Structure 1
Amino acid sequence: MKKEFVSSGLAAALALLAGCTAPGFRPVAAPAPATTQTPMVANPQATCAALAGKTIPFTEIGFPSGNATIDSAQLQEPTPLAVSQGAPTPAASIRAPLPPRCKVLGRIAPIDPNAPFIHFQVNLPVHWNGRSVQYGGGGFNGTLITGEALLPAARFGEPVPLAQGYVTYGTDSGHQNRAGEPPQFFALNSEALLNFAHASYKKVRDVAVAVMKAAYGRGPEKLYFVGSSEGGREGLTMAQRYPNDFDGIFSRVPVIHWTGLQHAGLRDGLALASGGWMNPAQVKLVNDAVLASCDAADGAADGIVSDPVGCRGRFDVDKLRCTGAPADNCLTEAQVRAVRTLHSPVDLGVDLANGLRSYPGRGPSGEAIPSSGPTGGWQSWWTGSQAPAFPPVPANGIAWFYGAGAIQFFYAVSPNVDLRTYKAADHAKRVREVSDLMDSTNPDLSAFHRRGGKLIVLENLGDYAQSPYAGIDYHDAVVRRMGRGTVDQFFRLYTAPNVDHVGTGAPANADLFPALVAWVEQGRAPAGLVLVEQEARPPFAVKRSRPLCEWPQVPRYRGGDMNAAGSFACAQ
């Protein structure tokens, strides 16, 4: 969801670590060889400036559209590394160093004159490696993605794609947030909704290719898409709807089952509003009980629940029920019921896209990940600092704010709908229409596979912004549809235990983008990847590490330094 924007980290070289003992040690293979560098002719300043005012006709865009216009194109000086204070996430505090590049800003005209423009930014490095990376968005978008930030889940301190010679680009998805207006308001316009669902990413991709041809005299040899949360959904959407457009896609914590997620946000918020809201002390009470039941199950009592699925059978929330007056060291019946609700799947009672009807539950693990802005566990995503209000207020959990707004503007199409009495079945036709647009749950990736595309998905198992089990269920569905042998040729699913939606709570960063590039360009399947937890300031020291396990394997302690990946092995 949003509040994470698109920043979460980017790595530059593929780590192939096996059996090391020091937490930050990682033998690094040579990066995938760059293609021939293409300079922006002899005079980058003139070449860049000449792009301003250029029109890209709709005929160069592979989806019904108006023309695209380049509003400005300016050559940028190199910018140094900078680390700020008070950012919403550790990765968001880091502004990576950037090389000289041509910054192109533009917009794509709608067909409906009442629909907003699609804004985009394309960054053209003076020395190009022949590749491009499209950045995904976050939340309900409405903010221009610049393509300059760290990539999701990557190690801090590594060069971003632009610094490695990639063309990078992003979009606001076809609408702009406005003060005093709910972020979901745009969905009342059909073209704006279509753009948010999938069309804007296709249009911007095609426009970016046209800009590259104008600047360098040729298009990209390899195209990548990388996104997290909503951006992760966008990545999977591109693989499903536009399978010939990208060679490699990395999708982190994708809000893949979008319709189910919004209805789960409503259901879980109503459970809190019905007497189930818990204060921070009670959230910590649940977290401590989960750790007591499950932390040491992997052989290491280190504050990380490696196997939350197994934990479901060990953690019993009923043991926290108050036997006397309500207090911070126990839960009322309504609070116990709210926790059970969160952990349970929600059946919408409506047939959704691709044969789905229900959305998986969340937890346990990561309930009390420290909250600093929109970064931690239940307090950020579920409980907030006060019980859900009608209408939602900023002090509520993000899932309630997002889910309630989506119900109002996407499904009920009424900002005045009574959230307490809303039922999906009463709006079944509209719910199915939006599901067909928004849900990235089509398990048929055969066209993407035939094109030679590679896909990596990372789910954080302590995620309360969305259910990581939705992504796991999707991988299972692809295996059922295409067969395990075929899927293993192009699709990897990894999980990060105890990690929150935006990468806090446990080791969360890995060299996944370099692994994707090596898989696409060298045919070298990912192996030996390592998750690290780092300081968010230079020199970005590694505090602890774990092996990055391919699902359904999880880390198991085998002896040695608990802060070192080499002390753990991936086990079923």
Structure 2
Amino acid sequence: MPFRPLRTTLVTTLVLLLTAVSTPAGATPGRHPATGDGLANLPAVTPVMACADVTGLDLGDGVTIQSATVVTTDAPYCEVRGTIAPANTIVVRLPVNGWTQRYVQTGCGGLCGNANINFPQAADCVPVAEGTVASATTDMGHQGGFDGSWAANNPQAQIDFSYRAVHETARVAKALIRAFYHRPPAYSYFDGCSDGGREALMEAQRYPGDFDGIAAGAPANNMAVQNTFHHAWNVLANRDAAGDYILLADKLPLVHNAVLGACDAVDGLADGLIDDPRRCHFDPNTLRCATGQDPSTCLSPAEATVVRKLHDGATDARGRRLEPAIAHEWGSEREWTLFVPTAQGQVVGSENFALSYLRYLADPNHPRPDYQLSDLELTAESFWRTVLPSSTYMAALDPDLTAFQRGGGKLLLWHGWNDQHISPQNTLLYYDAMRRTMGARTVDRFAKLYLFPGMAHCGGGEGPGDFDVLTPVMAWVETGTAPNRIVAGNATRTRPAYPYPTVARYDGTGSIDDAANFVPHTPHTVVRDDDSWVGQGLFSHGYQTSPRAVNGKLVL
């Protein structure tokens, strides 16, 4: 039977009660004059204690501070390393010469396993660049183990990775900040991409009071489907009956050039980028080899079928979608080397991602280290057995962010159209679900979605992929300056992006590589995202759980 989320009076009442008592994590916007970037002009604060003395702080049961040392840079900071029981490693950086009262927590990628502070698409944010923000991150409750084996018979590690570690890190880091400066952060932010984007949305959904502003990039919020059927299909759809690969990477430039030839100018400008790939209706069969044609210049019928399958995504034998429509957008073909090998016998990234989850996380109490992709049944019944129960606590698909919105929170979602890891369709469907659940006008007041043509996963790719998402979030929170334009760049080109569904259009004058020559354009007819797939009920409110670790088992 299809899974249908429960919506009970008890759940509704609880949400309303939580909403009623929620308060903003930071200060009231606009109480300080704005800077040129639209940020609040916050006075710098100096520590009230020596960095070395931080190791003596008592931050509560389960928190151990292992070291606190000054790192000498142009903007010196006190780097604090510690643990939150049972196994969450945290790193906190506290400016020692002047803290401008902002706290930024950063996420991690993949299955995490290490604690390294980085700021996805925020290097140009002035407070970050000048080193005046306090910051922190966590390894999400386990160390190493990218293959997922860390989760075997370790239910607490699974809970920490799912949602607890980020929340506990925010709690402890804020306590540390309060002790070090004798004041809490005026504003708190979260910045993450990929799994960090999932962590960002999980915070907005489960702990809406932790952060005032959240930047969630290419979120892996459909975690269980992403790391099972999506990545498994990338491999299985490209294997013949003997287990050999059908399509190899040497054919990807051929396909990409054909896609651009068919669709590059659909947006009115032939610039090597497709501003909305959903408007591209490319047919791989146009590349099928004619009699006597050099096979290096065309596709065999089997290769053309694989290209179509990789674009469309996983289905069962009856054609029912086992993931959202469009697994890989047209125009992203050069990035498909993540799952299309250069030679037979290679193990591609998608196989490793799928097996990590299928072996150790899909069935949380029964690790299956010998599981193979051939064991995955491509049926609707298998879909629910595979993605539940882990979706109920590991996915971040709840579209009801009422508590976050009422607390004054601001959300900036972003995704690259050429993302080879995570389909932008997941982000589009989540955004659509938010608007259905909360109302379009309400969502427009606190959330914006940006889509970047040609950009690959979390950056890079053929399109401009370097930009600053944190400054717009800060300005929106601190002074009420809503973001309406983000300029992305690379070595040769800059291009503006506007809140979805608005796109950039060339104004007809000057260089097409200069963002100044583009204007916003909102299509008269917005593409309607096809949300018809087996798991569409996952993008809803009411079925998420908070499991417990009991006697070595995960109890839902």
Residues 217, 413 of structure 2: 8 Å contact kept: yes
Residue 43 of structure 2 corresponds to 36
| CA displacement 1:487-521 (0-9 Å, x = unmatched) | 01100001001111131211122232111101001
Q: Distance in 2 between matches of 1:437 and 1:456?
A: 23
Picking from 257, 263, 270, the partner of 1:301 is: 270
Q: Distance in 1 between matches of 2:427 and 2:42?
A: 33
Residue 120 of structure 1 corresponds to 90
Q: Distance in 2 between matches of 1:503 and 1:279?
A: 24
Picking from 437, 444, 448, the partner of 2:404 is: 448
Per the TM alignment, residue 54 of structure 1 is displaced from its structure 2 partner at its CA by 3.5
Q: Distance in 1 between matches of 2:407 and 2:137?
A: 23
**What SS does the corresponding residue of 1:340 show, helix, strand or coil?**
helix
Residue 253 of structure 1 corresponds to 218
Alignment of 1:202-217 (within 5 A): 202-217=167-182
1:57 alignment partner AA: G
Per the TM alignment, residue 324 of structure 1 is displaced from its structure 2 partner at its CA by 4.5
**What SS does the corresponding residue of 1:306 show, helix, strand or coil?**
coil
**What SS does the corresponding residue of 1:358 show, helix, strand or coil?**
coil
2:151 alignment partner AA: A
Residue 325 of structure 2 corresponds to 360
Residue 443 of structure 2 corresponds to 487
Q: Percent identity?
A: 32
2:89 alignment partner AA: H
**What SS does the corresponding residue of 1:359 show, helix, strand or coil?**
coil
Alignment of 1:66-465 (within 5 A): 67-79=62-74, 99-110=75-86, 117-126=87-96, 127-145=98-116, 147=117, 149=118, 151-154=119-122, 159=126, 161=128, 163-178=130-145, 183-188=147-152, 189-262=154-227, 263-274=229-240, 276-311=245-280, 313=281, 315-324=282-291, 327-346=295-314, 358-369=323-334, 377-379=335-337, 381-387=338-344, 395-412=346-363, 413-423=367-377, 425-426=381-382, 428-429=384-385, 431-465=387-421
Residues 197, 438 of structure 1: 8 Å contact kept: yes
Alpha carbons of 1:132 and 1:384: their partners in 2 closer, same or farther (altered >3 Å)? Answer: farther
Alpha carbons of 1:187 and 1:361: their partners in 2 closer, same or farther (altered >3 Å)? Answer: farther
| CA displacement 1:322-368 (0-9 Å, x = unmatched) | 3447822222233222222222243589xxxxxx9633323334435
Q: Distance in 2 between matches of 1:328 and 1:55?
A: 67
| Structure 2 gap ranges (5+) | 1-34, 524-556
Per the TM alignment, residue 421 of structure 1 is displaced from its structure 2 partner at its CA by 2.9
**What SS does the corresponding residue of 2:296 show, helix, strand or coil?**
coil
Q: Distance in 2 between matches of 1:269 and 1:430?
A: 17
Residue 534 of structure 2 corresponds to none
Q: Distance in 2 between matches of 1:158 and 1:530?
A: 13
| CA displacement 1:508-554 (0-9 Å, x = unmatched) | 222321111010011111123222224xxxxxxxx211121222232
The alignment's TM-score, normalised by the length of structure 1, stands at 0.78
Alpha carbons of 1:158 and 1:523: their partners in 2 closer, same or farther (altered >3 Å)? Answer: closer
Counterpart check, 1:48 vs 2:51: yes
Residues 397, 430 of structure 2: 8 Å contact kept: yes
Residue 554 of structure 1 corresponds to 503
| Structure 1 gap ranges (5+) | 1-27, 59-66, 80-98, 111-116, 350-355, 370-376, 390-394, 535-542
Per the TM alignment, residue 158 of structure 1 is displaced from its structure 2 partner at its CA by 5.5
Counterpart check, 1:565 vs 2:515: yes
Q: Distance in 1 between matches of 2:458 and 2:37?
A: 29
Q: Distance in 1 between matches of 2:341 and 2:100?
A: 45
1:102 alignment partner AA: C
**What SS does the corresponding residue of 2:361 show, helix, strand or coil?**
helix
Q: Distance in 2 between matches of 1:316 and 1:555?
A: 26
Q: Distance in 1 between matches of 2:127 and 2:262?
A: 40
Q: Distance in 2 between matches of 1:253 and 1:278?
A: 27
Counterpart check, 1:509 vs 2:466: yes
Q: Distance in 1 between matches of 2:362 and 2:398?
A: 21
Per the TM alignment, residue 277 of structure 1 is displaced from its structure 2 partner at its CA by 3.9
1:185 alignment partner AA: S
Per the TM alignment, residue 441 of structure 1 is displaced from its structure 2 partner at its CA by 0.7
Residues 364, 462 of structure 1: 8 Å contact kept: yes
The alignment's TM-score, normalised by the length of structure 2, stands at 0.80
Residues 52, 70 of structure 1: 8 Å contact kept: yes
Q: Distance in 1 between matches of 2:386 and 2:352?
A: 21
Q: Distance in 1 between matches of 2:68 and 2:354?
A: 38
**What SS does the corresponding residue of 2:82 show, helix, strand or coil?**
strand
Residues 121, 469 of structure 2: 8 Å contact kept: yes
Residues 75, 103 of structure 1: 8 Å contact kept: yes
* CA RMSD of superposed structures (Å): 2.3
| Aligned residue-pair number | 471
Alignment of 1:22-33 (within 5 A): 29-33=36-40
